Every structure is written in C-alpha cells, then in structure tokens.
Amino acid sequence: MTLLIHKTLKIVSFCLLLGIATGSNACHAQELSDAIQDSLVAWSSHDFSEHGPSVESVRNVHVRFATLSSGERSYVLCGQFHAVSDNADAVWTHFATIMTDPYEQWVGAMAESHCERAQFIDHPKDLSAALQSSLHAAKSK
C-alpha cells in the first residue's frame, strides 16, 4: 500500500512540476485527469481501510471539481458505498474524497453536499471498479 501511495504522489508531483514549467496550472488534460483520478482513488481506499467503515461495495464513483477563489480547481471523488452489515436493508451512503493537502474524506450528508456543489467533468469516467479493486487489495494485506 505504501508503494501505491508513493507512486501516486510521484505522478501528482510530476504534473505539478510540469504545470509550473509550462506556465499553466495543469498538465495536458488526459495526464492530469489520470493522475488526479489515481490519487483520489488511492486516498479514498486508504481512508476507508484505515478509518472505516468497512466497505462492501461502491457505486457511481466519479471525479468532479469546484473552482476556488484563486481560480484553481479543487477535485473531488464522489460516490456511494454500501457498508458491511448484517442488515439486509442497509442504505447506500455518500462519500467525498477532496484533494487538499493531500486529501480529506467526508461521509454522509456533508459528502453529499460537497458533491452537489461541485461541477461535473465532461465525459466523467466511472471509477467504481478501480476503487472496489483498491479496497479489495487493501483488505487482503
């Protein structure tokens, strides 16, 4: 897991350096998008693994963004999870993993609020399978 976080941080650092070197705030759209998605999935998985709740499955996982007062974008991984439970009627709960320094994770109503305020990215990629795979890998360690 440490290797995954280290690799993700290297990708994000590369994008930040490239943005500075080219005088822009971002890498080429696809490179930035992949780095951000990979980072957010890794951080979300790490947070669930370290702090809970224990996640059975996820759905509707995608990246959104909010524009900060500085004009920069803040990226948010939004989705829903189904916690491991004996209750057959357990509900889906919203979560939001926000790219900060490096991240913060919200669960429940505050997560839903963050995601409702954030804007959709054109052609969002469904990251449910990626997050589910990362959560499964973290459990097997």
Render pLDDT for 66-106 as a digit per residue (tens, 0 to 9).
Answer: 988 999 889 999 999 998 876 767 789 999 999 998 999 99
What total of structural domains would you count in the chain? 1
Asked whether residue 9 is assigned to any structural domain, the reply reads no
Asked whether residue 99 is assigned to any structural domain, the reply reads yes
Model confidence band, residue 19 (pLDDT cutoffs 50, 70, 90): very low
Asked whether residue 62 is assigned to any structural domain, the reply reads yes
Tell me: the pLDDT tens digits for 113-122? 999 999 988 8
Alpha helices in 26-127 (DSSP H): 29-51, 109-117
Is pLDDT above 90 for 107? Answer: yes
Is pLDDT above 70 for 32? Answer: no
Beta bridge partners of 97: 77, 105
Residue 106 vs residues 3, 10, 11, 110, 123: alpha-carbon distances, Å: 24, 25, 24, 6, 24
Model confidence band, residue 48 (pLDDT cutoffs 50, 70, 90): very high
- 104: helix, strand or coil: strand
Q: What is the pLDDT of residue 98?
A: 96
Asked whether residue 82 is assigned to any structural domain, the reply reads yes
Asked whether residue 19 is assigned to any structural domain, the reply reads no
Q: What is the pLDDT of residue 76?
A: 96
pTM value is: 0.75
Cβ atoms of 39 and 102 closer than 8 Å: yes
